[in-house]
Amino acid sequence: MEKALVTGGAGFIGSHVVDALIDKGLEVVVVDDLSSGSINNVNGQEIDLYNEDITNSDLWRIFRKHKPDYVFHLAAQINVRESIKDPIEDARTNILGSLNVLKCSAEFGVKKFVFSSTGGAIYGEASKLPTSERQKADPESPYGISKQTTEKHLWFYKKNKGLDSVALRYGNVYGPRQNSKGEAGVISIFANNILCGKDSRINGDGEQTRDYVYVKDVADANLLAMELSGVYNVGTGIETSVNEVFRKIIDLSENNAFSSHEPAIKGEVKRSCLDSRKLVGKGWKTQYNLDRGLKETIDYFRSE
Ligand code: NAD
């Protein structure tokens, strides 16, 4: 039986990748320090879960014990605003932690290293939308810089240590199990607020756009990536404004709630939308449009 090690596997996207890998028949090991993830996300799954920081040198022992064929690297500091406040802490997890996972992967002969990168923060304010992988990376936040740096290390490890890898540049991922606290995902925050009858705060005028991609489609992209190499965008090619998302959740949930506007956040781009034709050309097909994904997400938060 082939083995996969998933860092950040108790998190939002990571836990869906774990589900998909188990469905495919792989044995799964998760490394997660549970800083934002939760055991509840992987409850009931037959996995080995290590509550461990990816920057820890003990990671080596986990690799030695399990010798994974595939590594899915999702563990990260994911908050753009936190990265602006504290670039060193962001770099600790997102650059040094990633290097530790890469080093172990190369040492133990991993067949494929699948890295969760960002399409929303790596291109900066892109001159062309939808933005393809050919567009130069020009991140505006330490979070985007860390992701770009790790992509460069993937290239270094491939060239110098023979470690084959894929970087998946996600749009704004949403769906069940996304944390609805803090600044995480705007859809989970709005859905949770609207279902609880609480008002929501929108940063800026709310006309900023994002490419919202459903988490199960992202998990499918991770599985497909086991056969690929290089860099791929993972998005829908459709721009939706924050105001529109808010209105859609109100309509679909048949609840009512209000929003107020806060000052725009520095370092966040105004428009973002990804051209994913390269991945579609390899067989990736989104199963969820925004309405279908939002309905499943609202149902999840209602049941919570
Ligand atoms: P998440 O916070 O739910 O998942 C991250 C997981 O990593 C959590 O379970 C957390 O406990 C774990 N973690 C954090 N620091 C760690 C450390 N030092 N050691 C071990 N575990 C650690 O976030 P997510 O949205 O599921 O993001 C998963 C990946 O996808 C991240 O790499 C993120 O940058 C990337 N990504 C997410 C989005 C999105 O829209 N959610 C978009 C682009 C890229």
How far from 228 is each of 13, 23, 56, 221, 264, CA to CA, in Å?
20, 20, 29, 10, 38
Q: Name residue, tokens 């790596």.
A: 122
Q: If you measure from the C-alpha of residue 256 to the centroid of ligand 1, how many angstroms do you get, rounded to a whole number?
A: 31
Pocket test for ligand 1, best of 74, 95, 141, 180 (most atoms within 8 A of CB): 74
Q: Residues with beta carbon inside 6 Å of ligand 1?
A: 8, 10-14, 32-37, 53-55, 74-78, 93, 97, 116, 118, 120, 170, 172-173, 179, 185
Q: Which DSSP string do the residues of 176-226 spell out, in sequence order?
A: TT---STTS-HHHHHHHHHHTT--EEEETTS--EE-EEEHHHHHHHHHHGG
Pocket test for ligand 1, best of 5, 6, 12, 145 (most atoms within 8 A of CB): 12
Q: Which DSSP string do the residues of the chain spell out, in sequence order?
A: --EEEEETTTSHHHHHHHHHHHHTT-EEEEE---SS--GGGGTTS-EEEE---TTSTTHHHHHHHH--SEEEE------HHHHHH-HHHHHIIIIIIHHHHHHHHHHTT-SEEEEEEESTTTS-S-SSSSBPTTSPP---SHHHHHHHHHHHHHHHHHHHH---EEEEEE-EEE-TT---STTS-HHHHHHHHHHTT--EEEETTS--EE-EEEHHHHHHHHHHGGG--EEEEES-S--EEHHHHHHHHHHHHT----EEEEPPPTT--S---B--HHHHTTT------HHHHHHHHHHHHHH-
Cis check for the bond before 130: say yes or no (omega within 30 of 0): yes
Query: Is the model's pTM score more than 0.95?
Result: yes
Q: If you measure from the C-alpha of residue 131 to the centroid of ligand 1, how many angstroms do you get, rounded to a whole number?
A: 23
User: Which tokens in the block code for residue 152?
Assistant: 């460069």
Known catalytic residue at 70? no
Closest by Cα among 284, 183, 177, 141 to 225:
284
Closest by Cα among 120, 108, 75 to 94:
75
Closest ligand 1 atom number to CA of residue 37 = 9
Name the active-site residue from 50, 143, 232, 288: 143
- pLDDT of the chain along its 304 residues, tens only? 999 999 999 999 999 999 999 999 999 999 999 999 999 999 888 999 999 999 999 999 999 999 999 999 999 999 998 999 999 999 999 999 999 999 999 999 999 999 999 999 999 999 999 999 999 999 999 999 999 999 999 999 999 999 999 999 999 999 999 998 766 699 999 999 999 999 999 989 999 999 999 999 999 999 999 999 999 999 999 999 999 999 999 999 998 888 888 888 776 789 999 999 999 999 999 999 999 999 999 999 999 8
User: Which tokens in the block code for residue 14?
Assistant: 């990571």
Closest ligand 1 atom number to CA of residue 38 = 9
Q: If you measure from the C-alpha of residue 255 to the centroid of ligand 1, how many angstroms do you get, rounded to a whole number?
A: 30
Q: What is the C-alpha to C-alpha distance for residues 57 and 104, in angstroms, rounded to an integer?
A: 10
Closest ligand 1 atom number to CA of residue 170 = 43
Structure confidence at residue 141 (pLDDT): 92
Structure confidence at residue 182 (pLDDT): 61
Q: What is the largest CA-CA distance in the chain?
A: 56
Q: If you measure from the C-alpha of residue 74 to the centroid of ligand 1, how many angstroms do you get, rounded to a whole number?
A: 5
Which amino acid is it at 202?
Answer: I
Q: What is the C-alpha to C-alpha distance for residues 294 and 225, in angstroms, rounded to an integer?
A: 25
Q: What is the C-alpha to C-alpha distance for residues 129 and 132, in angstroms, rounded to an integer?
A: 8
Structure confidence at residue 45 (pLDDT): 80
Strand partners, 30: 6, 49
Q: If you measure from the C-alpha of residue 77 to the centroid of ligand 1, how many angstroms do you get, rounded to a whole number?
A: 6
Pocket test for ligand 1, best of 49, 50, 55, 78 (most atoms within 8 A of CB): 78
